[in-house]
Amino acid sequence: MDSNLETKNEPARLNNSSRSGGYFAKKDEKDKAIQEERRKKMIKKVSWGLVILAGLGLLTLPVYNYFKKATVNQVNVSGEYFQSQSRDHIPVGQSHDAYNSNPPTGGWHYETSVQTGIYDTFFPDEQIVHNLEHSHVWIAYKPNLPVDQIEKLADIAKTYGSKIIMTSREANDTPIAIVAWEHLLKIESFDEARIKGFIDAYRGIAGPEKIPDSGFKDFRKK
């Protein structure tokens, strides 16, 4: 072959090679950009997925705990249900229809509730019903209940602290009554399992207003 012809064709081959190299370089660069964009999208999806899972966890954990608690304590829960007759506030001393349970589990009540704690003094039912509306539990006992049983009730009240009110109540028709909004447990003598089961089931749960409280203490005169 003519060496002059080969020399003439050499620039063309170099030019074609240069073009080919540039094409593949650009293709590699484009592929890398596409892969990087895919990687970023995948990271974004995974991040949002983790955020959603975390959010669902925060939402479902209280629900899970609530149903777990209710299931665990259902064995020990007993008592009666009484539909609330009213949620109206009434002036102190104003008359109203008779409550549908003894002690009352809901209905007409005074505007001011009682500070949660343990008392050996009397409070009007209408005042403590306001506590029940706040989802508190009321431990009401007859004044002639044996002292050892009163102290056992007080120990339970202290164990829970918040959202518990314990008072003497002459009008009880049983020695001990454990009361929540629309729920009532009457017992003839101290029964720790039944009392705690009732409190666990309804304290902070029963009652249309979930109002926090503070300042719980033993207010009895000793």
Report CA Rg, the chain. 37
Reply yes or no on domain 79-202 having CATH 1.10.3470.
no
Residue 49: pLDDT band by 50, 70, 90 thresholds? Answer: confident
Q: Is the confidence at residue 79, as pLDDT, over 60?
A: yes
User: 70 near 97, Cβ under 8 Å?
Assistant: no
Q: Which whole-number Å values give the CA distances from 79 to 4, 9, 101, 130, in the listed order?
A: 113, 104, 12, 21
What percent of the chain is modeled with pLDDT above 90? Answer: 62
- What are the residue ranges spanned by the domains of the chain? 3-75, 79-202
Quick: pLDDT tens for 193-217.
Answer: 999 999 999 999 999 999 889 899 9
User: In the predicted model, what is the mean pLDDT of residues 35-59?
Assistant: 74
The rounded Cα 119 to chain-centroid distance in angstroms is 28
What is the pLDDT, as a whole number, of residue 40?
81
Residue 100: pLDDT band by 50, 70, 90 thresholds? Answer: very high
Pick the range with the lowest mean pLDDT from 18-27, 40-49, 87-96, 117-126: 18-27
What is the pLDDT, as a whole number, of residue 75?
46
Quick: pLDDT tens for 152-183.
Answer: 999 999 999 999 999 999 999 999 999 999 99
Of residues 190 and 55, which shows the higher confidence score? 190
Q: Which whole-number Å values give the CA distances from 40 to 97, 112, 124, in the listed order?
A: 69, 59, 67
What is the pLDDT, as a whole number, of residue 46?
76
Angle at Cα 205 formed by Cα 199 and Cα 211, nearest 5°?
110
Q: Is the confidence at residue 119, as pLDDT, over 80?
A: yes
What is the pLDDT, as a whole number, of residue 10?
53
pTM score of the predicted model: 0.68
What is the pLDDT, as a whole number, of residue 70?
45
Q: Which residues make Cβ contacts (< 8 Å) with residue 217, sequence separation at least 6?
A: 117, 118
State the CB neighbour count (10 A cutoff) for residue 142. 16
Pick the range with the lowest mean pLDDT from 75-89, 91-105, 203-217: 75-89
What is the pLDDT, as a whole number, of residue 20?
53
